């Protein structure tokens, strides 16, 4: 039997802002970053939201965030995030994206979130939304502290390579799969599937979509996540949800907690 999946980018596709930069102010309040760093993060957020970020801008952002978090104590970060989570995340999720994810699930397709953001944010959001798998980035941790090094960066062509590997592992027919993203940097991922969609596209992706005949979707209705999907009560889970929003960094995570609980491999 042919299997299929729907692959979703995260920032500006499922959520209405950059998960990479969303927690700058709480980290300043907790003494982890300076006012200057917060202002730089705010500017980067503006660039991201106003016109998207090209490869060069994303590389500068990656370098900035990697150097910023070097030496941070992971436990301290999680404590700060747990205390400020609801102020940052509510509202953040596009209602249209939640509905689309549900439609794919009901149609029997696996839902996979593919993001350059860290596993710390992508995994919990994926679980809350009922995603079957996530592909995300991971930042290196040594002795409980972030080193500033990146183990794996799920960005650009690497997203396409990752979903192709997942398709081989899970038996997906990519010609029957769907893809959703806002950024021209995700053209390789979108081109790898049979049904690509540009969501809130930046100007370059809009041009690419027009030339290739890809549908364009506009998501405009952010909604509080807990109003659509019940949030788990565990503080540690909520902390993990937000920590990854501080940086776009390295690693791949294929495991879905729901399937673990059901014993599905």
Which tokens sit at 89?
Answer: 């995340």
Cβ(112)–Cβ(255) under 8 Å?
no
Bridging pattern class, strands 145-152 and 133-142: antiparallel
pLDDT of residue 192: 98
Residue 13 to residues 9, 217, 238, Cα–Cα distance (Å):
6, 10, 21
The whole-model pTM stands at 0.75
Measure the CA–CA gap between 74 and 195, rounded to whole angstroms. 39
pLDDT of residue 58: 62
pLDDT of residue 61: 63
Measure the CA–CA gap between 41 and 65, rounded to whole angstroms. 9
Q: Which of 9, 110, 182, 202 is catalytic?
A: 9
Catalytic site includes residue 11: yes
Catalytic site includes residue 9: yes
List the chain pLDDT tens, one digit each, 265 residues.
679 999 999 988 998 876 656 666 666 677 766 655 555 555 454 444 444 555 666 666 666 667 777 787 777 766 665 565 556 655 678 999 989 999 999 999 999 999 987 777 677 777 778 899 999 888 788 999 888 888 888 999 999 999 999 999 999 999 999 999 999 999 999 999 999 999 999 999 999 999 999 999 999 888 766 666 554 443 333 333 333 333 333 333 333 333 434 444 3
């Amino acid at each position: 039997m042919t299997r299929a999946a729907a692959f979703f980018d995260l920032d500006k596709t499922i959520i209405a802002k950059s998960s990479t930069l969303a927690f700058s102010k709480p980290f300043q309040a907790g003494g982890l970053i300076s006012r200057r760093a917060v202002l730089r993060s705010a500017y980067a957020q503006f660039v991201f939201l106003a016109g998207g970020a090209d490869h060069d801008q994303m590389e500068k952002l990656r370098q900035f965030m990697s150097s910023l978090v070097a030496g941070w104590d992971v436990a301290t970060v999680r404590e700060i995030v747990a205390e400020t989570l609801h102020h940052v995340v509510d509202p953040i999720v596009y209602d249209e994206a939640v509905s689309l994810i549900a439609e794919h699930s009901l149609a029997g397709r696996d839902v996979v979130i593919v993001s350059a953001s860290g596993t710390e944010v992508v995994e919990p959001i994926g679980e809350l939304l009922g995603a079957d798998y996530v592909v995300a980035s991971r930042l290196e941790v040594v002795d409980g502290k972030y080193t500033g090094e990146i183990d794996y960066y799920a960005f650009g062509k690497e997203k396409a390579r990752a979903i192709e590997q997942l398709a081989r592992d899970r038996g997906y027919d990519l010609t029957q799969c769907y893809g959703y993203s806002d950024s021209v940097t995700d053209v390789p991922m979108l081109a790898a599937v049979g049904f690509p969609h540009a969501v809130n596209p930046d100007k370059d992706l809009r041009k690419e979509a027009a030339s290739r005949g890809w549908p364009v979707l506009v998501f405009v209705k952010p909604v509080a996540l807990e109003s659509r999907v019940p949030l788990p009560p565990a503080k540690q889970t909520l902390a993990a949800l937000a920590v990854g929003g501080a940086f776009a960094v390295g690693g791949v995570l294929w495991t879905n907690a729901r399937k673990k609980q059901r014993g599905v491999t």
